[in-house]
Chain A
Amino acid sequence: MKSARPHTLRVFLVALALFAALAFAACGDTKDDEEASDNGSTAAQEGTADPKAEIKKGIKTVSIPKQLGNPYEEFEHSGVDEALEELGGSNRISGPTDAGASTQIPIINAAVQQDVDAIIIAGNDPDAVAPALKQAAQRGVKVVGMDSDVAPDARSVFVNQVTTQLVGENQVESIGKQIDYKGEIAILSATANATNQNAWIDVMKQTLKKPKYKDMKLVKTAYGDDDDQKSFQETQGLIQAYPNLKGIISPTTVGVAAAARYLSTSPQKGKIKLTGLGFPNQMRKFVKDGTVDEFQLWVPKDVGYLAGQAAAALVSGRITGKEGEKFEAGRLGEYTIGANGEIVLGPLTTFDADNIDDFDF
């Protein structure tokens, strides 16, 4: 009698496992034979663009950040608000409370149900949100990616803050003009294997080969690991090891702030020039006290503003997302859609003593 009980259970468990495997029914796909499965439904790019079309009245959009409560993203998405208000529409920022791969999906679905005209999204995961976004597109909602892209067939256009090429070139020019294009420079990076850092550094090295920069010499790339203390010490090390050092590029917000903090109390203050990618709020006091002449970054609010403008242009039929189409993006001027529907905000914005007080992020 006792043995009957576990027995029925075992049957139940086995049945459950079998059922689970069968519930989806069988079909023999593996990674190796997937080409047939990719019949990309590019529902986004239909019809032709009419650059002269009126901007639709009362456009309703939802912009979805990666996660709520991140000041950088809030600033970025406030740009979407600005663009839509300017065009007589409205935007609502609605984001998940954590940045998990699938947390944006319910918000996308709700936006579609609310019958918005466009969704502007900074994707947490490029593919997890793709099916929901494609469904949105099928129901006439325009999709604009910004900041970090989603799968290209799941959106019409993607607004990129900057390209790798531009970061590298702009940063070299920024330090070059401060040291009269002459002398030794060093780079203070984040970690040795950070993909974006290394891509930027590669472009910097390429740029330095141009005739204009022939008298500048990159002597060392140091790694501060995006750790304030380590970056501080690495700056100190660079200056001791290279007495003729004229300039430092630190294309990381942690690194540039730490380097500025070191320089501000050292005898080389003002003599060794420093540029990099930094937040105005972190760098303000070093610009004011003369440690730093200028540094660069994109303006997050402009990223959102451009995305909002692109969304309105899509909704109104001024663009469809094809390469080569042009549209007017309000205060930012005219933009052209590049390959893969990418729109690049532009070169880095340079912050110096004259304009730094106009920015609060």
Chain B
Amino acid sequence: MRAEAATPQTASSAAPGPGRHWRAALGRWETLLVGLLVVTAIAGQAISPEFLTADSFTTGSLDLSEIALMALPLAMVIIAAEIDLSVASVLALSSALMGYLWNHGQPVETIIPICIVVGALCGASNGLLVTRFGLPSLAVTIGTLALFRGLAFVVIGDESVTDFPTTWTDRAFGNFAGTFIPNSIVLFALLAVAFAVALHATRFGRSIYAIGANEEAAYFSGLRVKRIKLILFTLSGAVAALAGVVISLRNSTAAANVGQGFELTVVTAVLLGGISIFGGRGTIAGVILALFLLGGIQKALLLSESISSYWVQIVTGALLVGSVLGPNVASRVADARRRRSHPLLEEGP
């Protein structure tokens, strides 16, 4: 059976195929993000002449690199109308495990794959609970948010491990081959291409949209819904663990308390990127734009000499609410307008 048959047909979207859906979305939400980016750039430059500099990009993007990594698989999870709030805790568990293994004499190149596998197992256990037991992912991953963080403290306690070899920490902290682009962002860029291709140019990607738009329809069209969701959760865990490795090396510190509250920022980045919280729509390009926007706003607030860092939280929270509210209001307005011009549609369900 062809995946196209299960293309999303949400109530408010009239786009007949994924290709056009994609382009239509680019015409709306992504344009808005570009506009906001321009506004941020102007406002940031007004706040500090240091805003539009290579330095800002280097440090600002480095600060966001783990968020950016975790946003990629989470975008897929949310498009499939699920959510994974445990990512920051998997990151912490991976960091803790990394410290533990290093303390026990393992070389870094053994530790990294182990961490990623353990992260994938964490993700898979989320996925199994959601798919095999039919539990809502919101509840499951809030539970594992606490559970994995707790495990991280069990693994390493309050201690922090800081003596990673400088060859590795420099690799994670440093810039790519003499440019001002941090290595961790190069890693993100490569993964972003992989995820964008997987989501927008493969049958697997189209299945994710189909599941998010209408899970039952997807199931009856023959898509292996549970299996695909399980893969998505596993992927989310694996990438969160990779982010845990990156943050540990970048800060030369492995500890159980890293990345507290990162889940909020990751979800914000994804939703701000135009991924619908109800599933079925959004693009990786949007998420990347949203990450730029988020990074730009955070940097501007940091560079301002009079704004407290509480505002970073306030703005992040406001963006999260705004990015859920915005499309909702827009579609209501569109519906209302359609109803006025086609009164007969009112009879519909």
Binding site for B on A (CB under 8 A): 1-2, 5-6, 8-9, 12-13, 16-17, 19-21, 23-32, 34, 37-39, 68, 92, 94-98, 100-102, 105-107, 109-110, 112-115, 125-128, 130-131
Contacts and interface: CB of A to CB of B under 8 A. Distances in A.
B309 A107 contact: yes
A92 B305 contact: yes
B40 interface: no
Interface string B236-250: 001100100101010
B302 interface: yes
A25 to B, nearest CB: 7
A354 B235 CA distance: 66
B59 A19 contact: no
B103 A31 contact: yes
Given A13-B238, A17-B116, A113-B303, 12 more contacts: A5-B207, A8-B204, A9-B204, A17-B113, A21-B112, A24-B168, A26-B109, A98-B261, A106-B302, A107-B302, A113-B59, A114-B305
25 contacts: A1-B1, A2-B224, A19-B191, A20-B238, A21-B109, A24-B172, A27-B109, A27-B165, A37-B167, A92-B305, A94-B309, A97-B312, A101-B258, A106-B302, A109-B59, A113-B59, A114-B50, A114-B303, A114-B305, A115-B50, A127-B160, A127-B251, A127-B252, A131-B169, A131-B252
A109 B162 contact: no
B253 interface: yes
B203 A5 contact: yes
Interface in B96-132: 102-103, 105-109, 112-113, 116-117, 120
Given A23-B190, A113-B53, A28 B109 contact: yes
B4 interface: no
A24 B1 CA distance: 40
Given A29-B168, A125-B160, A127-B252, A114 B48 contact: yes
B84 to A, nearest CB: 16
A128 B238 contact: no
Given A17-B116, A30-B105, A102-B253, A24 B204 contact: no
Contacts of A112: 55
A17 B222 CA distance: 29
B10 interface: no
A31 B187 contact: no
Contacts of A21: 109, 112-113, 116
Most buried by B among A16, A27, A101, A126: A101
Contacts, number: 161
Contact of A97 (B107, B166, B309): B309
A101 B158 CA distance: 11
Contacts of A97: 309-310, 312-313
A95 B310 CA distance: 9
A95 B207 CA distance: 45
B90 to A, nearest CB: 14
Nearest to A69: B310
A29 B165 CA distance: 7
B108 A125 contact: no
Most buried by A among B167, B235, B313: B167
Interface of B: 1, 48, 50, 53, 55-56, 59-60, 63, 102-103, 105-109, 112-113, 116-117, 120, 160, 162-163, 165-169, 171-173, 187, 190-191, 194, 198, 202-204, 207, 222, 224, 227, 231, 234-235, 238-239, 242, 245, 247, 249, 251-253, 255, 257-261, 298-299, 302-303, 305, 308-310, 312-313
Contacts of A24: 108, 112, 168, 171-172, 249
A68 B249 CA distance: 26
A31 B313 CA distance: 38
A125 B247 CA distance: 14
A6 B204 CA distance: 8
A110 B299 contact: yes
Contacts of A114: 48, 50, 303, 305
A128 B258 CA distance: 10
Given A20-B112, A23-B190, A106 B298 contact: yes
Nearest to B112: A21
A1 B60 CA distance: 45
Given A16-B194, A26-B109, A97-B309, A37 B50 contact: no
A106 B63 contact: yes
Given A28-B109, A102-B247, A13 B235 contact: yes
B162 A126 contact: yes
Contact of A101 (B160, B235, B298): B160
Contact of B107 (A2, A28, A39, A68): A28
The 10 closest A-B pairs by CB, nearest first: A127-B162, A29-B165, A109-B59, A110-B302, A128-B253, A128-B251, A30-B107, A113-B50, A37-B166, A102-B251
B165 to A, nearest CB: 4
B55 A113 contact: yes
Given A9-B204, A13-B235, A100-B259, A95 B167 contact: no
B298 A125 contact: no
A9 B227 CA distance: 11
Nearest to B252: A127
Contact of B116 (A9, A20, A39, A92): A20
B162 A34 contact: no
B165 A37 contact: yes
B181 to A, nearest CB: 14
Contacts of A32: 105
Contacts of B227: 6
A302 to B, nearest CB: 25
A12 B224 CA distance: 17
B291 to A, nearest CB: 15
B174 to A, nearest CB: 9
B106 A30 contact: yes
Given A24-B171, A97-B309, A29 B108 contact: yes
A6 to B, nearest CB: 7
Most buried by B among A24, A97, A105: A24
A8 B202 contact: yes
Most buried by B among A17, A32, A107: A17
